[in-house]
Amino acid sequence: MKVRKLLLLLLVVILIFASTYLVVFGVSFGVKEFTPLRAIKQGLDLTGGVSIVYEAADPSVEDLDTKIEGAMEIFRTRLDDKGFTEATVTRQGTSRIRVEVPINETSEIQDPSEIVDFIGKPAKLQFLKPDGTVILEGSDLVSATPMVSNETGRYVVSFEMTQEGGEAFAEATRELAQASSNRYITITLDGETISQATVSQEISGGSGIIESSDFTQATATELAMQIESGALPLDLKVLEQRSISATLGDEALQNSILGGLVGLAVLMLFMIVVYRMPGLMADIALVCYITLVLFVLALFEIQLTLPGIAGIILGVGMAVDANVVIFARVKEEFYTGKTLRSSLKAGFHKAATAIVDSNVTTLIAAFVLGIYGTGSIKGFAYTLGISIVVSLFTALVVTQGLLYLLAAIAPNGKRMYFPKKKVKGGEAE
Amino acid sequence: MILKNFKWFTLLIILFVVAALIVGFSCGGLNLGIDFTGGSLVTVKINEDYDSEAVRQAALEVDGISGDVSVVKAGENMTEAVIRIQNSGSEATEESLALQMVENIQKIYPNASYEGIESVGGTASGDLITSAVMAVVITSVLMLIYIWIRFDLFSGIGAVLALVHDVIIMICVMCIFRIQVDSTFIAACLTIVGYSINATVIIFDRVRENMRTLNPKEYTKAKLLDRSVKESLERTINTSLTTLIMIVALYIFGVESIKVFALPIIVGIIVGTYSSNLLAGSIWMLLLEKFGKQGVGGRKRVKAIR
């Protein structure tokens, strides 16, 4: 009986440490590799990059909500086009948009201000008659592609128009071709003339090209992308642009991890010294806690930020707290003369309400922060929430299970579990 | 003992708040970081590989630039520096500060040249504070309701007042010791709100249990509270210690951005332990004495939940 329990205990401990190893160092099935730790998404403060806050130039504009949503959609398209798939676009308050773009060595654009220029460009494209009337707008085009012109060898942007756009364009070109003078079309981007073409005949068929002497491969590609993503539905101004250097992020991450590990080591030692064998079981449960938190972060692709790391570390404190509450209770019960097993039972039972109530109240805080917080506060709330739920599990299930097993194996080694009761000067409580 | 000395515990807080107010008025409020105040981004072409820290120090040497200065490498081959500075209330314009800074940098990197300046707004100012205050208010109300259901209304009020105390004292400490407040301070306050309520509820749980099991004739509310706090003391000390171990390790090893986050949390843990042990329970008992039904009926207000 005892041997079986001992084997079970060993098995559980080995399982916990094995899964820790898998989460941290990963596992490979032939060519396929899976390392949960690496799958954790790092926030901007860890990767480095640029964070930009845009604000509506005129917050009183009609349909602000729809327009902001539209602009966010366009931002996402543009960022995806440039390969910044990890970038996040979030709305802040009513009239602000926060864009966070991680930049690393492989990014197409390295200069933060270039990114700001690219995504924040209104990209309002207009085809104008000489008298200034608008023939076509960017929204009348369905596609745009950069290409090299066969005739001139220069970069151009070819485009396809919508049905209505094509008709309007055909009508306008027919009119212009017959005009006596001023037979040209001006193409403007954000009010600046990028191209002017003389019309010699009606252009039907719904397609055309934009030529400009300024086009290079890069600018032609960019214009095509901007046309395709559409013009921003409202004027935005840059409220703040903040670059976070990756070196700082790297260093910060390593230092936080080091700090966490040192703290953890001291804490584990503290638990063993103060609580002896139960303390050791709590330490094993703590390893289980950290493994589970890392795994959940990787599984749900939650962005890990610096405050997020702090949230996890605070969660360690909370996980230990639950154990401390339990052990204090068990010790009390034991000193009243109960057997080890029944004091464990009574201790866990009495501690449970306190642990559940106290953790639910903290969970409420994490929950509200997750909803109302912005940016890194949200990251903090998520990790805190996960930490609380996981720590409840490790304290109430893992520690408890390990202790019961241990009590079954070695029910008599009192000093292994509890220190001698101190008797204070005549107080008999 | 706790209940009897409640007025002294309260007096201590009031003195602390008054001290903070005096320091606050004489030093111009809190020492706000660039997140709140805004500042300028100065671009300097260094034209060679450079050390960010050296540039940061050169910037700090300028009279009128202090505290929150960050240097970000940018441009081709990372030879440009984008330096974020905050005008700490000197008469000089931000541009003149920037030019002085460039002169200092040129002493180390002779090829450095001034590129331009751009001012940035404080993003944390409006939205962030509003949403944080909203979050705290909603959290408090929800916690009050939860504790009300699990314990009684008076304990809910006591717990929430203790939280309010924690946040106020944290702000006071930041003010008295002139520690810089930036947007992570809000997250730190929220952390403490979560941490401190945890400790309070553990003690309340003990009070609840003792109310059920102890003879009300022998144990007055004051004695009951003393006993409950004392019984929870081992847990209180050990938990505060273990959490402090973690956060202090983070403070020691962390970089600047971690330090500004960890320090208020360390303060908050101490403040939270104070309020959970000495304030929250007293408020509960005082309210119960004043407004609750006396005697056995009063005891019954705390439902026997197992």
B166 contacts on A by Cβ (under 8 Å): none
Tell the CATH topology of A2-40+245-417. Answer: Multidrug efflux transporter AcrB transmembrane fold (1.20.1640)
CB B301 within 8 Å of CB B289? no
| CATH number for the domain formed by residue range(s) B39-120 | 3.30.70.100
Q: Which residues of B touch A254 (CB under 8 A)?
A: none
Q: Which candidate in B213, B243, B261, B276 is best for mutational testing of the A interface (most A CBs within 10 A)?
A: B243
Minimum Cα–Cα distance from B43: chain A residue: A113
Span A125-229: which CATH code?
Answer: 3.30.1360.200
Tokens of B41: 């981004």
Looking at residue B44, what is its pLDDT? Answer: 85
A419 in contact with chain B, both atoms CB, cutoff 8 A: no
Nearest CA to A149 out of A53, A215, A193, A197 is that of A215
**Which pLDDT does position B295 carry in this prediction?**
44
Residue B137 sits at the chain A interface (C-beta within 8 Å): no
Would an 8 Å CB–CB cutoff place B198 in contact with chain A? Answer: yes
Question: B235 and A321: CB-CB below 8 Å?
Answer: yes
Q: What parts of chain B have a pLDDT lower than 50?
A: 295-301, 303-306
Burial annotation A25-61 (CB, 10 A radius, 16+ → b, else e): eeeeeeeeeeebeeebbbbbbbbbbbbbbbbbeeeee
Q: Do A365 and B150 touch (CB under 8 A)?
A: no
Buried b (16+ CB within 10 A) or exposed e, A150-187: eeeeebbbbbebeeebbebbbebbeebeeeeeebebbb
Domain ranges of chain B: 6-29+124-300, 39-120
- The ipTM value here is 0.73
SS3 A54: strand
- Helices (H), ranges, A26-162: 36-39, 44-47, 64-81, 112-120
Write the DSSP assignment of B175-237 as a string of letters: HHTTPPB-HHHHHHHHHHHHHHHHHHHHHHHHHHHHHHHS-TTT--HHHHHHHHHHHHHHHHH
Residue A14: exposure state from Cβ atoms within 10 A (0-12, 13-18, ≥19) = exposed
What is the CATH architecture assignment of B6-29+124-300? Up-down Bundle (1.20)
Q: Could you say which of A53, A328, A369 has the minimum Cβ distance to residue B234? A: A328
Between chains, do A259 and B74 touch, taking CB under 8 Å as contact?
A: no
Which of A123, A124, A145, A143 has its CA nearest to residue A134? A124
Residues of chain A contacting residue B191, judged by C-beta atoms under 8 Å apart: 310-311, 314, 380, 384
pLDDT value of residue B298: 43
User: Residue B30: what are its φ and ψ, rounded to 5°?
Assistant: -75, 155
Is A380 touching B (CB cutoff 8 A)? yes
Which among B301, B2, B304 has a CA at the least distance from the CA of B152? B301
Helix (H) or strand (E) holding A220: helix A217-229
Q: Is A21 on the interface with B (CB under 8 A)?
A: no
With a CB-CB cutoff of 8 Å, which residues 31-90 of chain A face chain B?
45, 53
Q: State the amino acid at position A38 in one-letter form.
A: R
A368 with B127: Cβ contact below 8 A: no
User: For residue A280, what are its two tokens?
Assistant: 């050791």
Residue B32 gets which letter from DSSP? B
- B150 Cβ partners below 8 Å, 6+ apart? A357, B305
Task: Read off the pLDDT of residues B258-295 as tens digits, 9 standing for 90 and up.
Answer: 787 788 999 999 999 999 999 999 999 999 888 876 54
**In chain A, which residues have pLDDT < 50?**
425-429
The CA distance from B3 to the nearest CA of chain A, in Å, is 20
Q: Looking at residue B39, what is its pLDDT? A: 72
Do the Cβ atoms of B73 and A245 come within 8 Å? yes
| Shortest Cα distance, chain A CAs vs residue B126, angstroms | 9
For A256, the closest of B74, B197, B250 (CB atoms) is B250
Structure tokens, B9: 């515990």
> Please, which residues 1-40 of chain B have a Cβ atom closer than 8 Å to chain A?
none
Instruction: Report the predicted TM-score, pTM, of the whole model to 2 decimal places.
Output: 0.72
Distance, CA of A365 to CA of B200 (rounded, Å): 14
Question: Which pLDDT score, from 0 to 100, does residue A65 have?
Answer: 84
Helix (H, G, I), strand (E, B) or coil at A223: helix
What is the third-level CATH fold of A49-122+234-244? Alpha-Beta Plaits (3.30.70)
Q: What pLDDT shows up at residue A426?
A: 42
- CA-based nearest residue in chain A for residue B188: A307
Would an 8 Å CB–CB cutoff place A237 in contact with chain B?
no
Q: Please state, as a whole number, how many other Cβ atoms lie within 10 Å of the Cβ of residue A76.
A: 18
With CA atoms as reference, report the closest residue to B225 among B271, B174, B280, B183. Answer: B280
The helix/strand/coil state of A344 is helix
Residues 135-154 of chain A whose Cβ lies under 8 A from any Cβ of chain B: none
Contact A368/B206, CB-based, under 8 Å?
no
Residue B39: closest CA among chain A residues belongs to which residue? A240
First and final C-alpha spacing in chain A: 38
- For chain A, what are the domain ranges? 2-40+245-417, 49-122+234-244, 125-229
